[in-house]
Amino acid sequence: MTSSKSFAFTEDWVVVILGIATIFLALSGIVAPVPSFSWSNSAELVSTIFDPTNLLKLFEQFIFVFVTAILGAFLLGKSVKYLLDIFPTVFILTVFALILAGNATVKEYNLEAVIFSLIIGLIISNCFKLPNWFKEALSTELYVKIGLILLGTTVIFGDILKAGSLGLIQALAVVLSVWYFAFWICKKLKIDKEMSLMLSSAVSICGVSAAIATSGAIKGDSKKLSYVISLVLITAIPMMIFMPYMAEWMGLSQEVTGAWLGGSIDTTGAVVASGSLVGEEALKISTIVKFSQNVLLGLAAFAISIYWTYAKSVDDETKRDKPT
């Protein structure tokens, strides 16, 4: 069962088609159910996660995502046969990561499912040699781009209204200054330009999402992206824990502390957790500042793609002009 290459669309068009289709389904009331992954002990694990009702929700979600993946492979002109074999396995591994992240103790340390997924992926890729068709069948960037479309429909416009002019001004100032400084540091450390862009975007905008969006814009190396994601998630944990206590030691108000947390911590989840440690007002301000930065993700990805195209063309021209 394979799709015909003659009917293949480009990846961007497939993203638009599937993204709009998902939005229309949601507007029509057809939404994939969200199963529960929260548990604190073995008894609760069995009674909540493996409850028949929750398992049914999980199965319905699998069908919804699986059909989307099959349509994506078909429209891209890729083999659907391999996807039928691979996708269920990847879905099960993802559920396993979500269950680990749903533990109450793990949540206290703000360890997200993405880091468990990354660990599982690293173990598999380093212990087993995966064939090329395995990686090609998954089309990971396709799912990331669809996710960004869905994120935009549910978050970005509301965040612009919520943040207000002052929040956007601060977010813009923080993003520009931190991005440029991080990129300058990367150049001084002689880090290659591709990874410098991903790392600078991650630490200046919204962490993992910014790194993924930047990687997609410049068609970056997935291994470098994994490294950046790991770095962002690992550094977010001590910042989340210690920054509230540092703010208290410095005598900062909740408003200032919230702005500091929202502008400094890279992941949104860590910002919320850290703001909660300070107080309600700090949580509110930190969330607004972080969401204001998230608003800039699309603009940043667009600007980076233009810069990357120009930089590559200049590099190619320089290489051609060099005498041999």
| Residue 127 covered by a domain | yes
Claim to verify: residue 198 and residue 134 sit in the same structural domain: no
Give the separation between CA 275 and CA 272, rounded to whole angstroms: 5
| Residue 321 covered by a domain | no
Going from the C-alpha of 126 to that of each of 113, 120, 122, 323, the distances in angstroms are: 20, 10, 6, 41
Claim to verify: residue 134 and residue 178 sit in the same structural domain: no
| Residue 143 covered by a domain | no
- Residue the block writes with tokens 């930065």: 293
What tokens were used for 7? 């009917």
Claim to verify: residue 180 and residue 269 sit in the same structural domain: yes
Going from the C-alpha of 193 to that of each of 33, 186, 203, 294, the distances in angstroms are: 41, 8, 15, 23
Give the separation between CA 290 and CA 229, rounded to whole angstroms: 18
| Residue 314 covered by a domain | no
| Residue 87 covered by a domain | yes
Give the long-range contacts of residues 52-61, CB within 8 A, separation 24 or more: 57/33, 58/95, 60/32, 60/33, 61/32, 61/33, 61/34, 61/35
Residue at which a domain ends, from 88, 115, 138:
138
Domain region containing 274: 152-308
Claim to verify: residue 177 and residue 96 sit in the same structural domain: no
| Residue 317 covered by a domain | no
Claim to verify: residue 62 and residue 120 sit in the same structural domain: yes
Report the domain count for the chain: 2
Give the separation between CA 96 and CA 100, rounded to whole angstroms: 6
Closest by CA to 294, choosing from 150, 175, 144, 141, is: 175
- Would you write out the chain's pLDDT as a tens digit for each of its 324 residues? 444 455 578 887 888 899 899 989 988 888 888 899 999 988 888 889 999 999 999 999 999 999 999 999 888 888 788 888 889 999 999 999 999 989 988 887 766 677 788 788 878 888 888 777 777 777 777 887 787 677 666 544 555 555 556 666 766 787 888 888 988 998 898 888 888 888 888 888 777 778 887 887 787 787 888 888 888 888 887 888 888 889 889 988 888 888 888 888 877 777 877 887 788 778 877 877 777 777 677 777 777 777 777 766 555 544 455 444
Report if pTM > 0.85. Answer: no
Q: Answer for the pair 197, 322: CB distance below 8 angstroms, yes or no.
A: no
pLDDT at position 83 is 87
| Residue 106 covered by a domain | yes
Q: Answer for the pair 203, 266: CB distance below 8 angstroms, yes or no.
A: yes
In the chain, the largest separation of any two C-alpha atoms, in whole Å, equals: 72
